[in-house]
Amino acid sequence: MSPQITPISDTEQDLELAERILQPDGTRIANHDLDRYIADLSAEDIRALHRDMVVLRRIDAEGVALQRQGQLGLWAPCRGQEATQIGTARALLAQDFVFPSYRETGVIYARGAAPADFVRMWRGEEGAGHDPESLRVAPLQIIIGAQTLHAVGYALGIRHDGADEVAVTYFGDGATSQGDVNEAMIFASSYRAPVVFVCQNNHWAISEPVSVQSQYPIAGRAPGFGIPSMRVDGNDVLACVASMRWALEHARSGNGPAYIEAVTYRMGPHTTADDPTRYRSDDELEKWRGRDPIARVEAHLRALGELSDDQLAEAEAAADAMAREMRAECLGMVTRPPLAVFDGVYAEPHSGLERQRSEYAAYLASFDGEV
Amino acid sequence: MSPQITPISDTEQDLELAERILQPDGTRIANHDLDRYIADLSAEDIRALHRDMVVLRRIDAEGVALQRQGQLGLWAPCRGQEATQIGTARALLAQDFVFPSYRETGVIYARGAAPADFVRMWRGEEGAGHDPESLRVAPLQIIIGAQTLHAVGYALGIRHDGADEVAVTYFGDGATSQGDVNEAMIFASSYRAPVVFVCQNNHWAISEPVSVQSQYPIAGRAPGFGIPSMRVDGNDVLACVASMRWALEHARSGNGPAYIEAVTYRMGPHTTADDPTRYRSDDELEKWRGRDPIARVEAHLRALGELSDDQLAEAEAAADAMAREMRAECLGMVTRPPLAVFDGVYAEPHSGLERQRSEYAAYLASFDGEV
Amino acid sequence: MAQLTLGKALGAGLRQAMRDDDKVVLLGEDIGRLGGVFRITDGLLDEFGPTRVIDTPLAESGIVGTAVGLAFRGYRPVVEIQFDGFVYPAFDQIVAQVAKLHYRTQGRVRMPITIRIPWAGGIGAAEHHSESPEAYFVHTAGLRVIAVSNPEDAYRSLRQAVASDDPVIFFEPKRLYHHKGEVDLDTALADSPPMGLARVMRTGTDATLITYGAMVATALDAAEAAADEGVSLEVIDLRSLSPVDYDSVAASVRKTGRVVVAHEASREAGVAAEVIASVTERCFEYLEAAPLRVTGHDIPYPPAKLEKFHLPDLDRMLDAVDRVLDRPNSLTGADA
Amino acid sequence: MAQLTLGKALGAGLRQAMRDDDKVVLLGEDIGRLGGVFRITDGLLDEFGPTRVIDTPLAESGIVGTAVGLAFRGYRPVVEIQFDGFVYPAFDQIVAQVAKLHYRTQGRVRMPITIRIPWAGGIGAAEHHSESPEAYFVHTAGLRVIAVSNPEDAYRSLRQAVASDDPVIFFEPKRLYHHKGEVDLDTALADSPPMGLARVMRTGTDATLITYGAMVATALDAAEAAADEGVSLEVIDLRSLSPVDYDSVAASVRKTGRVVVAHEASREAGVAAEVIASVTERCFEYLEAAPLRVTGHDIPYPPAKLEKFHLPDLDRMLDAVDRVLDRPNSLTGADA
Ligand SMILES: Cc1ncc(C[n+]2csc(CCOP(=O)(O)OP(=O)(O)O)c2C)c(N)n1
Ligand SMILES: Cc1ncc(C[n+]2csc(CCOP(=O)(O)OP(=O)(O)O)c2C)c(N)n1
Ligand SMILES: [Mg+2]
Ligand SMILES: [Mg+2]
């Protein structure tokens, strides 16, 4: 008979069950499993992580603002998830390849996205905001969970190529209910594919609390599939770096997949189209405000005397500069001409579509005299 | 970090990890968890189980024979899985409802299928071989795993109705890889639905050994979803009865789903269209012949002095009678008339299909003069 | 009579259906507390409680598959798929189970499942939020397919869909959710015209413009514009895509002799192809010109900034009308 | 030239494709040791090993989804779906990912995936083993769809499909797997006619009979029978369903003025509707009668004992030919 399984009863317990290195007030505690993974991190490294998070929060705020001003069709804020995204993504090596969902602004930022990359898709200009090959990040994925299988297939290719790479996939707590995400674990396990699953449990799937998907720790599912997993405090950037390094090391050394559940919180609405006041309480939000991931690492650095006012100001300035560029790029975007709708459907000519294209060209041309 | 997970290394270990009450030689051993679930079973009850298995094996052999003789289009033999099917199905109450896959001949037999019910579908006469409502068994399901979700939905209905019933679903080891089967666990857990999952791990999915699907015990997956599970020796009919009673009790008492992995073996081909010599060894087959589920309970009863030659002969006679009836029903089946292809597509009239039906009727009528 | 938006009319239809029959249960993502991302189920959780308005885990195959199980138990599930582009994970359950179980069991097991799909484009949405997958379901035997274009139809035909013993795929044009119209809330279902009849929205004599969903409004605008040029268009709202009410359609075509079929969905093997093939079969001798299609291109739905070059609009409809009437048009390269 | 069955020709095509390009990998259920339930991949595991001939876990979405990932990495995956009826669990990955990723990335990410589907009925199989889902894929922009009818085409077009940088849904009529024919194994792909052209299988003057897959043989038999009655049929094998080679089709229709389109798939919004709508658009003034369809009924595929009343056969084709030629037929209620 399987051992007793106990559901998660409340948020406090929820977080107790997660690995941690920094307490919410910024004090560092010993973590037997994780410490060795960040033994090499200097204060400067931690400051860089902090700076990334500050910049990311600003990018996110700018995305929201641009949407409110009608410049973007939609934006999916990642406020509150900065430690998870920056921590895990900064642990990657350049050659690793990422399959994200739609909320991973911090991940594409860490992979080197240009300011325009953040807005191109949300503005409705193109299907993908960034160049997948140069960032080594697949396009943002909207179909919940679909990308997890892509990561596994990519990882299978890595294994066949004998390459020193890892495929990484990000997905939400809601996504864990999709068949695809479960099949991804099964295929990854069966193939011992070098892939790391990163579940961002931000407690909500639009209006559904995570308890609709699972009343048990999500990380607890992976071991049943033969995949070692870790449940980590997703608002602790050091724990995120460390656990991701553990997972990457595991996958890179030929041991097959690893799984991380980062326990964090979506501070904003699901997207700019959402009104979270309809379904969640101020209390809950307030509680999580007290666990802010940026404040935590800031307090840590401050306590170490490793974050001066000047350094903080520099980070803010970098954030402002990024936001300015993002805005300028966004406002300067030129929509492609009408016939561009036909571009890129096929790699090779398709007679049916060619005909439609020329008919539509003739149709457009018929207005030329008129206007 | 999750605890170490160890893969199953070989068949011996595979079986060691399963709950057992009868040893392969028929001796009964104490089982702390299970004994109480069969404390009430008399020798007569066990003899009835044995008889069921004997009859089932004969039904199965007759199915194969009828197919070989061109009377059936296909047959999916369950030889070797008699203890699993009879043991679990005999533990059900009349009001429970079963969602089987295609190999559950023993389950529909135990639910009271008439001789014709076994062949009607495989002969290609109708889409379903039996009446779902009177047997309280859904039609055999060919789409791998699809029925598991139906069971969960049904169980949700049971819960809403406040009924004292359990929904039960059967599926194979291969099926555990399907998204649907995993979603079924998730929905069942989320709704605390009174449903029992019975995975018949018969070691093969057509030509793929179970290790392609999982190198770890399949029952080990359920707890991650919050579902207690048991891995049972599927060739031990007493253990099957007992574990199923445990699972049903769990579900019936409002504790939500339970999961059983019955470790058994498909002694025959996947279907009559399959040639297993292409992919599996005589050695393996031989090993499993030594674990025959009928021989095991027979040895047990014999040792107790509870199975006389007469009783055995009576069981064989019942089996022969069943096979004769099955054959007679099969050979006597009358195919429905051509226009029956249009029957039952919709519950209410559909103008498009009505038109096609009358056009086809006119077409058929146009031959009337000719022949 | 009440003035309701299409969205509110749908909500009212669901409420009435749930009051009429306590076997009606709703399943979907975010349909409870939130009332659905389009607020169609707003207030229903409060009225009917969480056993009848069920927030599901995030898995469409799971939603439809459990609906099948509920139908086995005598329930009448109404599923909300959050957006058109998210129905595909449920495709197997819809095509292989929902559509076939009644046939598989020779009518012993009924599948009175309604699958509501907020549908189609024109709202500047992100990828996968503007799909027009109706042809997939029209091609699937065993399903009925409804597409609504106005609040009145929405209210009535949703109730009819829920009451139907057959599975119904129910398409709701999301760009019209906020459009208002008169809704008769009082007529009993039994006294309403049956689900599945097309409707002549405007009579005309020169050509028949056939469409459904949000394109009906565009077609009516086109007819208005055409009238200014002295062209009289008859506009038909199909309302039911399976079955199609070919009696009404054919009657119109016999009168006008010219046909244009419009939809947002892409063209190859789309619903317009079906309508044209069937109309040609039935009315060939009445046709004075080749029936034409005005559809989305055979491309994936484009990014929002380009969608207006994909969606049929008034001008594209009028150009097709000009072509079917042999007036100067884009292909003759004429008038400009 | 070699005499090969259609099944063997497909196997030879895969072997050649794998030799030509070591990025070609095969994925599917039972394709390794067993060589697939139809033995199409027989021997390939031995020649290419388990990293290129991959037995997958039993999950079609997983198979296609991992193929997408392999394509991201520069591989050229060839997926075997075990039977037509098992492609639906992969529908989302095919429609929302395989078909759209190239467009989504403006051509930066290629999806050179071939999805092989043993296809259609007539073999007395159990439910879900005789489906004709081609219209779903034809309607899906971003995919190419091929349907083969003979060993020669099978060998050549499978290699072309694998070599194509676009995703191809590749339909193999399973009832012809054991049919033999001449196969040219030597002509280089570069020297072969491009994938996507239709083929006139028999020339004729009275009517054009258009079909594909296993129905091609039936159509040729029908043409033979018609010839005995003095009716001259032109038979066209479409071979490619997306795109359809309308130049060839239209040329024939302009000559005969009469069209019958046949397929096993059900009728509503099927491929025949598409062909008829397009042909009517292009050749209206040449048409002397309404183009007709001979198809499976709009029913789920029936139980094996009844399938002969569902599948178009020679007689049903001839009846449609009689109708299109205005000869006595089942609807006129004539000759008998
Ligand atoms: C297949 C599919 N179904 C539904 C949706 C609609 N949808 C978009 S995001 C979302 C919630 C996702 O929650 P989660 O996985 O926790 O990710 P989060 O948004 O919290 O980052 C839903 C239901 C979708 N995009 N795809
Ligand atoms: C969705 C789907 N994919 C593939 C198949 C083909 N198929 C039929 S049985 C089978 C193997 C099933 O193995 P398992 O689940 O272990 O059940 P068993 O046959 O051993 O009882 C496969 C691949 C199918 N029926 N449905
Ligand atoms: Mg979430
Ligand atoms: Mg098995």
Residues B79 and B193 in one domain: yes
Q: Say yes or no: CB of residue B210 within 6 Å of ligand 2.
A: no
What's B254's DSSP letter? I
Residues A251 and A196 in one domain: yes
How many residues appear in chain C? 336
Strand order in the sheet with B195-201: B97-99, B167-172, B195-201, B258-263, B229-233
Q: Whose CA is nearest to atom 18 of ligand 1?
A: A172
Q: Is C310 a catalytic residue?
A: no
CA distances from D153 to A142, D42, D172, D195, D197 (A): 38, 20, 11, 9, 11
Run of H or E including C11 = helix C6-20
Is residue A341's pLDDT more than 70?
A: yes
Instruction: Please list all protein residues whose beta carbon sits less than 5 angstroms from ligand 3, which is an ion.
Output: A 172-173, 202, 205
Residue A3 lies in a domain: no
Residue of B nearest to C57 (CA): B187
Q: C296 φ, ψ to 5°?
A: -60, 155
Pick among D280, D281, D294 to test the C interface (most C CBs inside 10 A): D280
How far away, in angstroms, is C82 Cα from ligand 1 center? 10
Residues B342 and B331 in one domain: no
**Distance (Å) from the alpha carbon of A207 to chain C's nearest alpha carbon:** 6
- A362: Cβ–Cβ under 8 A, 6 or more apart, which residues? C330, C331, C333
Q: Which of A84, A85, A270, A280 to mutate to test the pocket of ligand 1 (most atoms within 8 A of CB)?
A: A270
- A9: Cβ–Cβ under 8 A, 6 or more apart, which residues? none
Structure tokens at D34: 């067993």
pLDDT tens-place string over residues B30-84: 999 999 999 999 999 999 999 999 999 999 999 999 999 999 999 999 999 999 9
Residue A6 lies in a domain: no
Q: Whose CA is nearest to atom 19 of ligand 1?
A: A205
Measured between beta carbons, the chain A residues lying within 8 angstroms of D71 are: 153
Residues A243 and A347 in one domain: no
Residue B154, SS3 per DSSP: helix
| Contact of A257 with A195, CB cutoff 8 Å | yes
pTM: 0.98
CATH number at residue A239: 3.40.50.970
Pick among C30, C33, C292, C335 to test the A interface (most A CBs inside 10 A): C30
CB contact B208 to A (< 8 Å)? no
Residue of C nearest to A344 (CA): C299
- The pLDDT value given to residue D331: 87
Domain count, chain A: 2
CB contacts < 8 A, B to D, total: 131
Nearest residue to D78 via CA among D6, D15, D136, D33? D15
CB contact B182 to A (< 8 Å)? yes
Nearest residue to B246 via CA among B136, B111, B91? B91
Residues B68 and B112 in one domain: yes
Number of the ligand closest to the Cα of D36: 2
Q: B172 φ, ψ to 5°?
A: -95, 175
In this prediction, the residues of chain D whose per-residue pLDDT falls under 50 are 335-336
Instruction: Please list all protein residues whose beta carbon sits less than 5 angstroms from ligand 4, which is an ion.
Output: B 172-173, 202, 205
pLDDT tens-place string over residues B231-264: 999 999 999 999 999 999 999 999 999 999 999 9
Structure tokens at A369: 């005299």
Q: Hey, are the CB atoms on D34 and B368 less than 8 Å from each other?
A: no
Q: D76 φ, ψ to 5°?
A: -130, 80
Task: Give the integer Cα–Cα distance in Å for B31 and B36.
Answer: 9
Partner-chain residue, chosen from C280, C292, C300, that has the shortest CB–CB distance to D100: C300
pLDDT tens-place string over residues C2-24: 999 999 999 999 999 999 999 99
HEC string for D59-95? CHHHHHHHHHHHHHCCCEEEEECCCHHHCHHHHHHHH
Residue B286 lies in a domain: yes
Q: Hey, are the CB atoms on B138 and C72 less than 8 Å from each other?
A: yes
Residues B156 and B231 in one domain: yes
| Contact of C108 with B133, CB cutoff 8 Å | yes
**Distance (Å) from the alpha carbon of A331 to chain B's nearest alpha carbon:** 43
| Contact of C123 with B143, CB cutoff 8 Å | no
End-to-end CA distance of chain D: 47
Query: Regarding predicted confidence, which is higher, C98 or D331?
Result: C98
Structure tokens at A244: 């991701």
- The pLDDT value given to residue B319: 98
Is residue A8's pLDDT more than 90?
A: no
CB contact B127 to D (< 8 Å)? yes
Residue B252 lies in a domain: yes
pLDDT tens-place string over residues C323-332: 999 999 998 8
Q: Say yes or no: CB of residue B199 within 6 Å of ligand 2.
A: no
Nearest residue to C310 via CA among C131, C141, C114, C45? C131
Atom number of ligand 2 nearest to Cα B172? 15
Residues A158 and A99 in one domain: yes
* CA pseudo-torsion sign D10, D16, D21, D22: positive
Task: Give the integer Cα–Cα distance in Å for B88 and B234.
Answer: 9
- The pLDDT value given to residue A6: 79
Q: Hey, are the CB atoms on B146 and C246 less than 8 Å from each other?
A: no
How far away, in angstroms, is A206 Cα from ligand 1 center? 7
Residues A241 and A341 in one domain: no
What is the average per-residue pLDDT within A352-359? 97
Atom number of ligand 1 nearest to Cα A175? 15
Residue A4 lies in a domain: no
CB contact B122 to D (< 8 Å)? yes
Residue A2 lies in a domain: no
Least confident of A2-6, B68-72, B228-232: A2-6
Partner-chain residue, chosen from D92, D269, D300, that has the shortest CB–CB distance to C270: D269
Supply the angle between the helices A146-161 and A179-191 in degrees, to the nearest 10: 10
Residue B4 lies in a domain: no
Residues B209 and B97 in one domain: yes
Q: Hey, are the CB atoms on C300 and D273 less than 8 Å from each other?
A: no
Q: Whose CA is nearest to atom 11 of ligand 2?
A: B205
Residue A1 lies in a domain: no
**Distance (Å) from the alpha carbon of D108 to chain B's nearest alpha carbon:** 30
Structure tokens at B279: 């992919």
Residues A271 and A354 in one domain: no
Residues B341 and B330 in one domain: no
Atom number of ligand 1 nearest to Cα A270? 19
How far away, in angstroms, is B188 Cα from ligand 3 center? 20
Work out the pLDDT band at B16, boundaries 50, 70, 90: confident
- The pLDDT value given to residue C331: 87
Work out the pLDDT band at B6, boundaries 50, 70, 90: confident
Q: Which amino acid is at A332?
A: G
Structure tokens at B23: 């040893």
- The pLDDT value given to residue D336: 39
Number of the ligand closest to the Cα of B170: 2
Residues A117 and A73 in one domain: yes
Looking at the annotation, which residues of B are catalytic? 266, 270, 279
**Distance (Å) from the alpha carbon of D175 to chain B's nearest alpha carbon:** 15
How far away, in angstroms, is A144 Cα from ligand 1 center? 5
Residue of B nearest to A4 (CA): B228
Residue of D nearest to A130 (CA): D105
Interface predicted TM-score (ipTM) of this complex, two decimals? 0.98
- The pLDDT value given to residue A15: 75
pLDDT tens-place string over residues C231-243: 999 999 999 999 9
Task: Give the integer Cα–Cα distance in Å for B247 and D192.
Answer: 62
Q: Hey, are the CB atoms on D306 and B127 less than 8 Å from each other?
A: no
Is residue C224's pLDDT more than 70?
A: yes
How many residues appear in chain B? 371
Q: D130 φ, ψ to 5°?
A: -140, 30
Q: Which amino acid is at A183?
A: E
- The pLDDT value given to residue A369: 66
Which residue segment(s) compose the domain that B350 sits in? Answer: 337-371
Q: Hey, are the CB atoms on C108 and B133 less than 8 Å from each other?
A: yes
